[in-house]
Structure 1
Amino acid sequence: MGLRRKRYEDGDAVGSTTGPAVARQGPTGPVGDCAVELRGVRRQYGRGASAVHALRGIDLALPRGSFTAVMGPSGSGKSTFLQCAAGLDRPSGGTVSLGGTDITGMSENKLTALRRSRLGFVFQAFNLLPSLTVEQNVVLPMRLAGHRPDRRRAAAVLGQVGLDGLGRRRPGQLSGGQQQRVAIARALVTRPDVVFADEPTGALDTTTAAEVLGLLRQAVDGLGATVVMVTHDPAAAAWSDRVLFLADGSIIDHLERAPADRIAARMASLAAPSYSGAAA
């Protein structure tokens, strides 16, 4: 956690710009230069008495160059939130905008093209193709978007995540932490509007997890990336600028640049019986 602590004590990139501006306006209020904006987003599965309300009118605006963690009890709507925000699932109501583009009514083909060119994804399971080299995995979003792979860009991003010179190896020749670094490089290679991370440290040990989170933090501070991370781990959430807490499909609280123990305490309070019936 040393990297994060030093940054906020010194009051540089995050502490002096993004943080205070969002703290004054609140994480769900209007922000001028939004990377992610949800307005009245609802997601319902089924109908009638058996309907499941996974999201209940989410209003949220996240500025560019910010790192946001999303937490909540099991069944609070975290996964549904990420899927709707990233255009992987369509909301039942409301609007979603990414980088100023309203994606709510987009055709599936246009949504696919947008995800390939303007969004990055990091998952717990890495999702690397074992038959491809590290470099080929990194440039895959370029190929899928119909662009010629930029090997110089791939090499530069691999260098930024500490994998300089490993482009010709296969994923199976790398450690779990190195594979997640490849996944982060792949997420950053197209200079996306937003990187969505779903439990990115769930399969890693504590030390390796801290290294990966440091890379996501560096991507925000040094590269101007925007990261939205779903996690169950307070230690992981402590690397973010702000933590949003979901319960029963609604954002019920947030913390700004909070330490892990304070985040854990807030999570413990959400485990109370009143939230036990939350939606999936």
Structure 2
Amino acid sequence: MMSIAQQLASTIEKYQPVILEEWLQDLKARMVRVDPEAESTMRGQCSQFLRVLAQGAAAGQLVDIEGREWEETRLFLAELSQQRARQGSTPSETATFVFSIKQPLFARLRVEFAADPETLAAATWQVSTLLDALGLFTVEVYQKSRDQIIIRQQQELLELSTPVVKLWQNVLALPLIGTLDSNRTQVVMESLLQRIVETSAAIAIIDITGVPTVDTLVAQHLLKTVAAARLMGADCIISGIRPQIAQTIVHLGVNLEDVMTKATLADAFLVALERTGSTITQARD
């Protein structure tokens, strides 16, 4: 006598075309816009899921989706969830792909077990539990994929928000805008040191005009960046010291005596030119 798992596999294989069409109709009804390409892709995904679902069930157990029997099913759903995360689908839309197969599948199970209500009840419960577990698996993979995407986007934004500009021969400028935290400090330091190596710069101007507040932590981050640049052979000038920031630094007791500071980027640039032996003259009319 076949187990419920094996009977599920047999039912899927027997009614595969009918289950597929009813499932597709339900999925298309949930979509805002259906085009031929999207429908073709969805049909292929549904067909593949029915195949791996029947293959896993044929192995004989519906309880543990972490088992070897369900490895191919997990791989398929993981790839599907990652793809939908990249496309901007919601977690519920992703899980619905699995949950929506219940209605057409249970309809076929009722036909197969019409003469055995007890077995039908047991089969319905086991298959429903299996599909719930697979649906939750897609949500977990989706969430991990979204987290990775968000982290990558944050990293890209950090890199874009810390441009190192070559102002003059041997002179670099690093304009900072926004809050300076530990993660951003690391990106700032890496970007600045990399550019110092590439350009052999002797002076690096760190402009904090766009930094809204300077507290002890921000000041310590600045000092670490200055120290790292000096180890690479470049001296640093901090510009953008507004009156309120100067007062805050004094009240905090932060020691910036070893660091050249200027009120504006222009003032810092003039000092940098002087230190590198360059001068600017105004052309006569």
- Does TM, normalized by the shorter one, top 0.5? no
Q: Judging by fraction of residues, say which structure has more strand.
A: 1
In which range does the TM-score fall when normalised by the shorter chain? under 0.3
Greater gyration radius: 2
**TM-score in terms of structure 1 length:** 0.24
**TM-score in terms of structure 2 length:** 0.24
